[in-house]
Amino acid sequence: MFDAKLLPLQRRLIHPLAERLHARGVSADAITLVGFVLGLVGVAGAAFGLVWLALAGLVANRLADGLDGEVARLAGPTDRGAFLDIALDFLFYALFPLGFAIADPGANALPAAVLVASFVGTGSSFLAFSIIAERRGITSEDYPSKGIFYLGGLTEGAETIALFVLFCLLPGLFPVLSLIFAAACFLTTLTRWLAGWRLFGA
C-alpha cells in the first residue's frame, strides 16, 4: 500500500552506498545472495528465540534487497538479477514466520501456517498478474524501474516488513498479528483476482 511512496526515499538513502559498491565491482547478484544468507541467519535467530538476531537478520536482508536493485540500475539490470531478487524474496517471506513457529510450535505453528498460506495467495496473484501484464505490454507507472510488473495492494513489502519487525519486538503477539495480517493478505489476493478478471477479460 505504501511501497510506491516509500521507494523514492529509499533509493535516495541507499544510492551513495550503492555507488561505492558498484565502483568496487560488487555485483547486484552477489548482494542478493549475501542478503538472502543474512536473512537465513535472522530465521535461525527467530527459531532459537533470539529475537534481536532475528531483527538484525531481517534488517540486513532488507537493506541488501534495496541495494541490489540500486546497484543493478548502475551496472545495467539483468533478467537473472530480477529472477533472483523476486524468487529469494518470496522464499524469505515464507521462512521468517516459520522461524517463530519452530520457536513455539504450540502457540505459533497454526497462525504461521495461515500466514504463509495467505502469502501464497498474494504471491501467486502478484506473479500471475505480472506474467499476463508483460505479455500484453502493460507497464506499471508506480514502479517503472522494477524488473517485472508490480501490482500493488493492501499488503505489500513495506507492510510485510513492518509485521516482521513487530514479530521481533513483540514475539508474544505473533499469533494475533499473524492472523490479522493474513486476513489483510487474503483481501489483497481477492482484489488482485478481481483486477485480473476485469483487465484480462477485455
Q: For the segment 7-47, what is each residue's pLDDT rounded down to a tens digit? A: 666 677 777 788 888 889 899 999 999 999 999 999 999 99
The pLDDT assigned to 14 comes to: 79
Average pLDDT value for residue range 133-140: 74
Rounded percentage of the chain residues whose pLDDT exceeds 70: 87
Q: At residue 137, what is the residue type?
A: G
Cell of 29: 547478484
Domain map of the chain by residue range?
3-200
Average pLDDT value for residue range 181-187: 96
pLDDT at 154 over 90: no
Average pLDDT value for residue range 180-186: 96
Q: What's 146's DSSP letter?
A: S
Given pLDDT bands bounded at 50, 70 and 90, which one contains residue 5? low
Distance between CA atoms of residues 30 and 33, nearest Å: 5
Q: How many CB atoms lie within 10 A of CB 168?
A: 23
Task: Provide the mean pLDDT of the chain.
Answer: 87
Average pLDDT value for residue range 82-105: 95
Given pLDDT bands bounded at 50, 70 and 90, which one contains residue 146? very low
φ/ψ (deg, to 5) at 48:
-95, 10
Given pLDDT bands bounded at 50, 70 and 90, which one contains residue 1? low
Average pLDDT value for residue range 88-93: 96
The pLDDT assigned to 122 comes to: 93
CATH value of 3-200 in 2.40.30.10, 1.20.120.1760, 3.40.980.10, 3.40.640.10:
1.20.120.1760
Question: Looking at 78-82, 86-90, 136-140, 195-199, which range is the least confident one?
Answer: 136-140
User: Over the chain, what HEC string results?
Assistant: CCHHHHHHHHHHHHHHHHHHHHHCCCCHHHHHHHHHHHHHHHHHHHHCCCHHHHHHHHHHHHHHHHHHHHHHHHHCCCHHHHHHHHHHHHHHHHHHHHHHHHHCHHHHHHHHHHHHHHHHHHHHHHHHHHHHHHHCCCCCCCCCCCCCCCCCCCCCHHHHHHHHHHHHHCHHHHHHHHHHHHHHHHHHHHHHHHHHHHHHCC
